[in-house]
């Protein structure tokens, strides 16, 4: 396997202060390994296509190991500062909540020129990852809905990858992520923004107030730990509990956003959203959070059936529908971003717009900026294309 042939990435290269890390990143457990559920499809895929994350290994193992890159660090073009969320940033391009679960992942990508760095969603308590597989490549058959099929093996261009994930929003314990985050924040360069994604971990009987308090607790901790901005994850397609699709409940979302705002003061707040089932709901939501949040990040994955070639759900019967992302959602994301921008302009809302969905080429980001994005983020593609920020800066130093 590719990763086994390469040494792990070292943090603390020339761009960063070489301080040694204060926290030992011993994690929850290696859940899923040794269960016989290793994913042979992805093992073969990784043989033919580079991936910094090894989907045949558990999430915990990947967290400790860090991204596996080849070659020397790229030379990152120097570009002027701009503003996003009222803050000076080196570029309005970066990574969405997903492949940066700790400093071991976040700092190497910062060093590759990604300036908006979203820390994968954290919780107020440790949460194990779902068993393997957690991440598979898929073919959507050229359709925008209906089932997608696991690809075995991937033969095409990595820029055309669509994939599906089912992690269940795992989290380190707050003791671990708070210390790790504090350390990472001190390593970033001028103009690099660490955005921390947070979510609640409700018990089945929790009220909206309790959920809001749990969101606020995490957000407050993240700010204490050096977050430059907070992202409240109001949308996760792969959890069945109340935190999964809060954005479709406008009143509850407002309550959550109010509580977070009270906990974080003036720190910029983004809201991570999925695709709205109807435009009327989208308009109602945007109007309701205007003045409370600073912006929205959209979209999260699109939920579809994810099947193996023999029709069996690849993530198990309980997760027949899971989050699909990458190339397959790009066109619909451009359209969603355009519609959200239209509402923001028409209603004079003071919300910034971070767009995410299927960006793996310069022209993909161009399409999203043209549709009205203030910033463009990548979820999955930097795992396959770690040089993407350098490409973007070469083509568009003004971004």
Ligand X SMILES: Cc1cc2nc3c(=O)[nH]c(=O)nc-3n(C[C@H](O)[C@H](O)[C@H](O)COP(=O)(O)O)c2cc1C
Interface contacts to ligand X, rule CB under 6 A:
96-99, 120-121, 135, 165, 167, 169, 197, 233, 272, 300-301, 325-326, 329, 356-359, 378-381
* In the complex, residue closest to ligand X by CB: 379
| C-alpha separations of 183 from 23, 42, 197, 225, 264 in Å | 9, 33, 17, 8, 20
From residue 247, give the alpha-carbon distance in Å to each of 37, 142, 268, 280, 372: 33, 28, 18, 13, 21
Toward ligand X, which CB reaches closer, 165 or 286? 165
How far apart, in Å, are the Cα atoms of 223 and each of 151, 245, 264?
Answer: 41, 24, 7
Per the DSSP assignment, residues forming a β-bridge with 326 are 162
Structure tokens given for 319: 């997760």
Q: For residue 288, count CB atoms less than 10 angstroms from its CB and return exposed for 0-12, middle for 13-18, buried for 19 or more.
A: middle
Between 11 and 99, name the residue whose CB sits nearer to ligand X: 99
Nearer to ligand X, 99 or 307 (CB): 99
Instruction: Identify whether 280 is preceded by a cis peptide bond (ω within 30 of 0).
Output: no
Q: How many helices and strands, by DSSP H and E, does the chain display?
A: 12, 15
The answer to whether residues 211 and 242 touch, using CB atoms and an 8 Å cutoff, is yes
Closest approach of ligand X to the CB of residue 165, in Å: 5
Selection from 115, 186, 71 nearest residue 399 by Cα:
115
**8 A C-beta contact, residue 65 and residue 3:** yes
How far apart are CB 148 and ligand X at their closest, in Å?
13
Give me the least distance between CB of 147 and ligand X, in Å please: 18
Decide whether 81 or 370 has the Cβ nearer to ligand X: 370
**Least distance (Å) between residue 60 CB and ligand X:** 14
Residue 50 to residue 116: CA distance in whole angstroms: 23
Q: Which is nearer to ligand X, 15 or 108 (CB)?
A: 108
Q: Which is nearer to ligand X, 11 or 97 (CB)?
A: 97
Task: Give me the least distance between CB of 365 and ligand X, in Å please.
Answer: 11
Nearer to ligand X, 51 or 264 (CB): 51
User: In the complex with ligand X, which residue's Cβ is closer, 15 or 248?
Assistant: 248
Q: DSSP alpha helices (H): ranges in 190-326? A: 208-224, 250-264, 279-289
Phi first, then psi: give them for residue 290, nearest 5 degrees. Answer: -60, 130
Taking the complex as a whole, the smallest distance from the CB of residue 279 to ligand X amounts, in Å, to 20
What sections of 172-249 are H helices per DSSP? 174-185, 208-224
Nearest CB to ligand X, comparing residues 246 and 329: 329
Taking residue 227's Cβ as centre, other Cβ atoms within 10 Å add up to: 26
As measured in angstroms, the least distance from the Cβ of 5 to ligand X is: 22
**CA 55 – CA 43 distance, rounded (Å):** 8
Q: Provide the minimum distance between the beta carbon of 197 and ligand X in the complex, in angstroms, as a whole number.
A: 5
Between 344 and 356, name the residue whose CB sits nearer to ligand X: 356
Q: Minimum distance from CB of 121 to ligand X (Å)? A: 4
Least distance (Å) between residue 212 CB and ligand X: 18
């Amino acid at each position: 396997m590719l990763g086994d042939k390469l040494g792990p990435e070292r943090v603390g290269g020339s761009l960063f202060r070489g301080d040694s890390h204060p926290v030992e990143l011993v994690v929850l457990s290696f859940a899923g390994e040794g269960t016989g559920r290793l994913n042979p499809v992805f093992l073969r895929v990784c043989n033919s296509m580079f991936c910094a994350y090894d989907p045949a290994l558990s999430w915990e193992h990947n967290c400790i190991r860090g991204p596996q890159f080849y070659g020397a660090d790229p030379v990152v073009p120097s570009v002027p500062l701009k503003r996003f969320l009222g803050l000076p940033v080196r570029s309005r391009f970066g990574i969405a909540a997903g492949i940066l679960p700790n400093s071991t992942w976040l700092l190497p990508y910062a060093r590759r020129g990604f300036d908006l760095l979203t820390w994968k969603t954290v919780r107020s308590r440790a949460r194990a990852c779902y068993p393997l597989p957690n991440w598979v490549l898929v073919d959507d058959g050229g359709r925008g809905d209906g089932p997608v099929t696991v690809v075995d093996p991937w033969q095409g261009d990595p820029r055309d990858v669509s994939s599906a994930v089912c992690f269940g929003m795992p989290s380190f314990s707050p003791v671990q992520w708070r210390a790790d985050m504090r350390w990472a924040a001190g390593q970033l360069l001028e103009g690099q923004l660490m955005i921390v994604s947070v979510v609640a971990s409700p018990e089945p009987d929790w009220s909206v107030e309790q959920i809001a308090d749990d969101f606020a607790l995490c957000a407050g901790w993240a700010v204490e730990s050096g977050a430059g901005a907070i992202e409240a994850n109001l949308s996760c397609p792969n959890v069945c509990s109340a935190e999964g699709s809060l954005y479709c409940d406008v009143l509850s979302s407002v309550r959550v956003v109010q509580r977070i705002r009270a906990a974080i003061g003036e720190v910029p707040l983004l809201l991570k959203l999925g695709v709205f089932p109807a435009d009327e709901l989208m308009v109602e939501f945007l109007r309701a959070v205007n003045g409370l949040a600073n912006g929205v990040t959209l979209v999260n994955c699109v939920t579809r059936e994810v099947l193996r070639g023999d029709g069996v759900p690849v993530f198990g019967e309980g997760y027949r529908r899971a989050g699909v992302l990458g190339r397959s959602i790009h066109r619909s994301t451009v359209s969603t971003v355009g519609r959200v921008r239209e509402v923001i302009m028409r209603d004079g809302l003071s919300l910034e717009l971070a767009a995410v969905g299927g960006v793996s080429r310069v022209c993909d980001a161009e399409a999203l900026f043209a549709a009205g994005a203030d910033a463009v983020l990548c979820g999955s593609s930097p795992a396959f294309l770690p040089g993407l920020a350098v490409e973007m800066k070469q083509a568009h130093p003004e971004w």
